[in-house]
Structure 1
Amino acid sequence: MNTHYPISSMASSIDFDRFKVIPLSLTSFCSCHSHHLPSTSSQFLHSSTRTLSLSRPRCSISRIGLFLDGSRATEVSGIPRSIFLKHPRIITAVARTEPGHLFDDESKEEVNKRNSTPAGEIPTSELKEKNSQLKKRVVFGLGMGILVGGVVLTGGWVFTVALAAAVFVGAREYFELVRSRGIADGMTPPPRYVSRVCSVICALMPVVTLYLGHIDVSVTSAAFVVAMALLMQRRIPRFAQLTSAMFGLFYCGYLPCFWVKLRCGLAVPALNTRLGASWPIILGGPTQWTVGLVATLISISSIIAADTFAFIGGKAFGRTPLTNISPKKTWEGALAGLGGCIATSVVLSRTFCWPTSTLSAVAFGFLNFFGSLFGDLTESMIKRDAGVKDSGSLIPGHGGILDRVDSYIFTGALAYSFVKMLLPLYGV
């Protein structure tokens, strides 16, 4: 039924759907008194309120419309139309009731759908969507794991070029985050041409590291080029442009280079294991089973274990929030991740006979966990300021490159420093 209530000359309406009224009583919506009305309607209006009653039992109203237009007033229950034209604020009801019909077809369908789903259970469509998303994450996760494992085992230029490609994509995602509305509202992002130049420079840094064996001079030169490009632009340069560009070079370019130094730079053979002595010729022979390869395998495996145990522990026991940067992370999950990371480091150290000291393996696992957690929180902070959930959409079910490698960005520098400076003769 359609019920219209002319209230004023405004051209708007409010619809109320599916109301069950037994009986229906409409009370005045305004504070007008009855003496404002002609005497012809006094028998139907009270002294301070005006009530219109529809006495048909068990009536149903499928739609109530409030129309703010006095010219549409019609005669209801014997009230002349002239009354409403003179007094447009009177609420008028025009109702057609259908006995026995409490809901229309659309309402019945919605109610049946709600009744068919018990409270607390996930609807079938949402459950299928979550299962599909989970399958997608697992499939692409396994594919990436196998690909990364093969690249790490191969080493050399294959490892470096693959890392450079990931760095380039990650740098592009970083500068897009910097240009996003959430961050750009509070600062001036660098121009697009500077962002693209920085992305290319970041991708070249791992290659230069492998070729020269160090990265210090190239980073300094890159920073000088970017700073000059910002200072020579037509618009007035801003300090925020310089800081975001410099951090991009450091975060996306300089830090990942330590993985090249760890995997390819620590070339001391680790032949004190049966696995190293029988390393296949296709992968370079026993001389390619190096400290750098073992350290890289342990570090990457420890980070994967930390993420896995933190997720499981947080789901099962998580109660205390870890930080406001990432509300889903809890202290319980962090402790579970720390335990899984250290345990993985110790087990693999016993398997690979490196490092030879259990205390060194525990310290190595702790550093890997600390670096992975710090990198994860850093990227979460950037995404939170940018107002986005994922850094990109390159990997189905996983987001962007930065979403997958954030735990590895700082870890490479910590792992290389630990092996190079704290372990005598690289722990062999």
Structure 2
Amino acid sequence: MAVHAGLGRSNVVSVSSASLCPCSRSPSFFKPLELSFGSAKFRLTGVSSDGIYGIPVMRMPRHRIAMAVARAEPDRLDEGEAKEVVGCDLSEEEDKHSEEQHKASQLKDRVIFGLVIGISVGGIILAGGWVFTIGIAAAGFMSAREYFGLVRSDGISMGMTPPPRYVSRVCSVICALLPIWTLYVGHIDISVTSAAFIVAIALLVQRGNPRFAQLSSAMFGLFYCGYLPCFWVKLRCGLSVPSLNTKIGHLWPVLLGGPTHWTVGLVATLLTVSSIIAADTYAFLGGKAFGRTPLIIVSPKKTWEGALVGLAGCVATAVILAKLLSWPKSLLSAVALGFLIFFGSLFGDLTESMIKRDAGVKDSGSLIPGHGGILDRVDSYMFTGALSYSFIKTFMPLFGV
């Protein structure tokens, strides 16, 4: 005796009971069949002349229908059919279990490597000078390599001609040299102009037919991964006025530079980096807890609720650190700097999301386990250094001391 369930073209669950009674096909010999789909329960008592139960239902996966029949009437299933239904159920459970294990492993890698990166970056920021500049140069070089890799991907190269590989490599090297040159000469304008001129010449003298798409993508890469990181060097090393109000400076060991080591540039860099981390963290947690309204199409996982929580966390972090470090002295300046840091972080993240969306990839690379590529980690920092430096130089008298 067998029970068969199927979904017809008219969205009707058909339950066929063959040879329920060898002596009669009368409906009185058919036992009522009960099916459960979530919270909804159906009792099937009607039967056609050929032994078919029928009831209209909403759209529903076929394996769920079969599993419901198995739970309702396990004694009516043949041994092979029962094994098939149970196997489907076990397969789903195994897939869920493996997915959970993968997510747990990914989260573990993310936390471990995040802590390692955070401690390393903190030490580099405290060191300053050439150590900090070399770190920025290395990040700029690797970000440029990943950027030009995205430009050459199928998703982008189908719509435009990517620059030749030798031009991409030249741009990557220039992106690494620009921060070093900025620290050496103290300004950016001449170096960036010269670099753009070199890249334009390299594109124009290439064999074949130079395209404007090649020039535009190369110039944006130069701006995005070379010019913008230079402002972090300007922020950390250029604002060398001592932050005399910072109490931690008076306790700083003389062997590590003493009180004069704590400059406005160091305090401003620590505040900016910490606020970016807070913005990303609070936005993620807020989106997970309250996220309902999508923020923008280029990044579907971001929500307005998460953005608002991230904004609040960023501003609060900037204000708290301003009080602890006694910089800036004005509360209004700290709040304004927190707002500026958040929007710079957000739009830096969205800019990279737009590039990855066109490229058709999830991550810019796989260099950092659990985090993706370098560009995935520094996208929030691209515009923020320039915005913080410009705000401090322009709108904060005596650099907020």
Regarding TM over 0.5, the answer is yes
Partner of 1:369: 342
Distance (Å, rounded) in 2 between the aligned partners of 1:208 and 1:160 = 10
* Equivalent residue number for residue 330 of structure 1: 303
Summarize the alignment of residues 44-193 of structure 1 with structure 2, pairs less than 5 Å apart: 100-103=78-81, 107=84, 110-111=87-88, 113=90, 117=93, 123-193=96-166
Aligned-pair Cα RMSD in Å: 2.1
Shift of 1:282: 3.5
Distance 1:414 1:112 in 2: 54
Residue 307 of structure 2 aligns to which amino acid in structure 1? Answer: A
State the match for 2:386 in structure 1. Answer: 413
The residue type paired with residue 80 of structure 2 is: L
Provide Cα deviations, 1:236-287, integer angstroms capped at 9, x if missing partner: 1000000000000000000000000000000000122321112222332211
In structure 2, how many angstroms separate the alpha carbons of the residues matched to 1:100 and 1:377? 55
Question: 1:102 is aligned with what amino acid?
Answer: G
Check whether the contact 2:246–2:262 (CA below 8 A) recurs between aligned residues: no
- Report the counterpart of residue 29 of structure 2 in structure 1: none
| Alignment-derived partner of residue 224 in structure 2 | 251
| Matched AA of 1:141 | G
Identity over the aligned pairs, expressed in percent?
70
Which residue matches 2:278?
A: 305
**Residue number in structure 1 paired with 2:396:** 423
Structure 2 partner of 1:37: none
Q: CA separation of 1:182/1:112 partners in 2, compared to 1, >3 Å: closer, same or farther?
A: closer
- Supply the AA of the counterpart residue of 1:283: L
Residue 208 of structure 2 corresponds to 235
- Measured after TM superposition, the shift of residue 20 of structure 1 is 9.5
For structure 1, the 5+ residue unaligned runs are 1-18, 25-54, 56-98
Q: Structure 1 residue 215: deviation in Å?
A: 1.1
- CA offset at residue 128 of structure 1? 1.5
Does the 8 Å contact 1:376/1:407 carry over to 2? yes
Equivalent of 1:353, from 319, 326, 341?
326
8 Å contact 1:153–1:283 — kept in the other structure? no
Offset of 1:288 from its aligned partner?
A: 1.1
Larger deviation: 127-136 or 402-411? 127-136
Partner Cα distance (1:255, 1:100) in 2: 69
Normalization by structure 1: what TM-score?
A: 0.75
Q: Give 1:255-270 correspondences, 5 Å limit.
A: 255-270=228-243
TM-score, normalised with respect to structure 2: 0.80
Greater share of helix residues, 1 or 2? 2
Contact 1:20-1:102 within 8 A present in 2 as well? no
Partners of 2:270 and 2:176 lie apart in 1 by 23
Hey, what does 2:41 align to over in structure 1? none
What residue identity is the alignment partner of 1:371? G
In the superposition, relative to structure 1, how do residues 100 and 399 fare at CA in structure 2: closer, same or farther (>3 Å)? Answer: closer
Corresponding residue for 2:351?
378
SS state of the match for residue 322, structure 1? Answer: strand
Q: Does 1:391 align with 2:391?
A: no
CA distance in 1, matches of 2:387, 2:89: 58
Matched position secondary structure for 1:412: helix
Shift of 1:426: 0.4
Among 383, 402, 413, the alignment partner of 2:375 is: 402
- Residues of 2 paired with 1:239 and 1:287: CA distance? 49
Q: Which amino acid aligns with 1:164?
A: A
Q: Equivalent residue for 2:36? A: none
Cα distance in 1 for residues equivalent to 2:375 and 2:202: 26
Name the SS of the counterpart of 1:327 in structure 2. Answer: strand
How many angstroms apart in 2 are the aligned matches of 1:200 and 1:283? Answer: 32
Mapped to 2, the partners of 1:258 and 1:113 lie a distance apart of 55
CA shift for structure 1 position 111: 3.7
Equivalent position of 1:286 in the other structure: 259
Give 1:123 deviation, angstroms.
2.4
Match of 1:88 in 2: none
Aligned partners of 1:194 and 1:229 also within 8 Å? yes
Where 2:295 maps in the other structure, the secondary structure is coil
Distance 2:384 2:89 in 1: 54
